[in-house]
Structure 1
Amino acid sequence: MNNVKTSFSIRDMENLSGIKAHTIRIWEKRYNLFSPERTDTNIRTYSLESLQKLLNVTLLYNNGYKISKIAKLGEENIPVLVNEIIAEKSEKSHALNSFKLSMLNFDQALFLNTYNELTEDKTFTQIFNDVFLPLLNELGLLWQTNTISPAHEHFITNLIKQKIYIHTEQLQFEAPTKNDEVYVLFLPENEIHELGLLYVNYQLALNGYKTVYLGQTMPVESLEDLLKYYNNIRFISYFTVTPTKDEIDTYFERFGEVLKKSPGSKLWVLGHQIQDFDEDSVKDPIVIFKSINQLLDSL
């Protein structure tokens, strides 16, 4: 059990629940909702059970329940009421909390059980947009505040990748219905963050397009090989870490030389590194998208 995180600081509790540390202290003192232990230097530490309770309390609180009423429910009644609310309208919040606990404790079974519950009435696209994307957006903050480690992030993102692989493979048994354009998806050299690109590939396959998925750290020069096989290629890349913002102009110049050899082909780019990039400085055949949904809407 030494790989399970069982002790949390009040900042961890704040980051994971979205409830301010000051508010948690008030709930603790006024309503006796939590009983943290104290270190020798009088610093609060909270158990895994306290975190689970806080996540449940947060769900109730965000659904209109007054904290004074929640405090009177009793330990055994809070999960019951949470399940009733989940059944009605808050499945997303519950799933987010379950996935967080799965990540914190490297609990694959909890991830799979939560995911399977979601599939009962949601498509994979809905699950990704409604639950996985908000979760992934939180990971950056949790990592920056040392609430989670890179190991936690890798654990949860690889489980999500597995689901994308499974759903993409199911689509690939069918021949593409749209063959006018070929989408070649790749990450630039030294870029390994491919979850977003994998999801774009899934959506393209879902919509009947032919895709060629090349994956991580592809040199620009190697992409020229694709020009021997296809015309009207839509190259798609995702800049999460590289190229750096200072290197993007140079990268686009290099890629522009490749595109000159194939009139009609384009480079579509999205990702963190181009969020603040000046779109006016980029001209066709290079196109910048600020989000996955913006790219998909352009199809």
Structure 2
Amino acid sequence: METQAHYYPIRNVAEITGVNPVTLRAWERRYGLLQPHRTDSGHRLYSDDDIRLIQQVTTLLNEGQSISQVVRSLKQGAPEAAGIREDNADIWETHRARMLEAIGRFDERTLEQAYQEILGLYPIDTVNTLLIRPLLQHLGNCWKQSDTGIAQEHFFTAYLRKKLGARLHHSNLQSHGPRLILCSPSGEHHELGMLLFAVTAVSHGLRLVMLGPDMPLSELTAVADATAAEGVILSMSTRPSKKVVEQELPALIGALDIPLFIGGQYAVTHARELAAAGAVPVGTDALPALRSIRAGLHSGT
């Protein structure tokens, strides 16, 4: 008996793959990479094969290839070309240089143009990994080399907060997946890493109750009850205070009846202790962390 094909609207495909609808349409129009079915009203419908192709493309992109090289390798029947870079200058270096120039001139219009162009062709998690995080690291390391180094870092982080916050707000309202609380404990003030993760998480279908940095852990059980959350995610990029480690975190683990996931550098350096205490350390990389979170939700860890 012939198996009936399954088709998915573009919103569902975006949640499954993490590639937003604007990018999926661009891949179709510019590169002929996808040829979705159309309903009588013109809406796109994607097959399981389309989804597998999109996932293959995102894997190659995350390895550093440009979208044009991915398209060429797939059309030539050579997906094994993963990891091969363009013969010319690294496309991500080119984009980073363009954005750094705009940041150095405090030129938000040019910065916005460069950012939106790249977002139109690449998934948000690829952009965050290969463009935004290296830019933040560069600005953080090189601020002493310019009379306006600190101002440049502040300018870019303020810009990113606006862009990521707006994207997160819009995508979160559209999501229909599991609801989780996301915050950092008291004394943790680093917000950008949490925002970068949050944008990737909602692009993959999670719904987040964003509480932000410097959150007293003692209130999270009540928030979980009020929101019917299915899990809590703590972002811990720096070592927390002794009070958080010895009092607040154990009390939270004991009080919650839903999984507690912990990401950030502290989850890497103290993974064994956190797991022994009953939390689920998920590390610093967004996509593996999301896989661990979904597995933890499924198992009821």
Looking at structure 1, the residues matched to 200 and 232 of structure 2 have their Cα atoms a distance apart, in angstroms, of: 15
Looking at structure 2, the residues matched to 210 and 140 of structure 1 have their Cα atoms a distance apart, in angstroms, of: 31
Alpha-carbon displacement from aligned partner over 1:188-229 (angstroms, at most 9, x marks no partner)? 223222111112222222222221001121112222321432
| Contact 1:266 1:286 survives alignment (8 Å) | yes
Looking at structure 2, the residues matched to 172 and 280 of structure 1 have their Cα atoms a distance apart, in angstroms, of: 32
Alpha-carbon displacement from aligned partner over 1:96-124 (angstroms, at most 9, x marks no partner)? 11222222232212211211331342233
What residue in structure 1 maps to residue 195 of structure 2?
Answer: 198
| Contact 1:188 1:243 survives alignment (8 Å) | yes
**Structure 2: 5+ residue runs without aligned partners?**
1-85, 295-301
Looking at structure 2, the residues matched to 285 and 185 of structure 1 have their Cα atoms a distance apart, in angstroms, of: 18
Which stretches of structure 1, 4 residues or longer, exceed 4 Å deviation after superposition? Answer: 86-89, 145-148
What residue in structure 2 maps to residue 281 of structure 1?
Answer: 273
Give the one of 245, 250, 268 matched to 1:251: 245
Farther-moved stretch of structure 1 (198-207 vs 147-156): 147-156
Cα offset, 1:127, TM superposition? 1.7
Cα offset, 1:183, TM superposition? 1.1
Structure with higher helix content:
2
Give the structure-2-normalised TM-score: 0.59
Q: Does 1:121 align with 2:115?
A: no
**Structure 1: 5+ residue runs without aligned partners?**
1-85
What residue in structure 2 maps to residue 103 of structure 1?
Answer: 103
After TM superposition, list the pairs within 5 Å mapping 1:56-205 onto structure 2: 90-143=90-143, 145-147=144-146, 149-176=149-176, 178-179=177-178, 182-205=179-202
Looking at structure 2, the residues matched to 259 and 237 of structure 1 have their Cα atoms a distance apart, in angstroms, of: 12
- 3-state SS in 2 of match to 1:243: coil
Letter in 2 for 1:101: E
Letter in 2 for 1:239: M
For the pair shown, which has the larger CA radius of gyration, 1 or 2?
A: 1
Q: Does 1:240 align with 2:237?
A: yes
What residue in structure 2 maps to residue 224 of structure 1?
Answer: 221
Give the structure-1-normalised TM-score: 0.59
Looking at structure 2, the residues matched to 215 and 195 of structure 1 have their Cα atoms a distance apart, in angstroms, of: 10
- 3-state SS in 1 of match to 2:255: coil
| Contact 1:185 1:235 survives alignment (8 Å) | yes
- 3-state SS in 2 of match to 1:163: helix
Q: Does 1:261 align with 2:258?
A: no
Cα offset, 1:275, TM superposition? 4.2
What residue in structure 2 maps to residue 35 of structure 1?
Answer: none
Q: CA RMSD in A?
A: 2.9
Looking at structure 2, the residues matched to 123 and 242 of structure 1 have their Cα atoms a distance apart, in angstroms, of: 31
Question: 1:150/1:261 Cα in 2 relative to 1: closer, same or farther (>3 Å)?
Answer: same
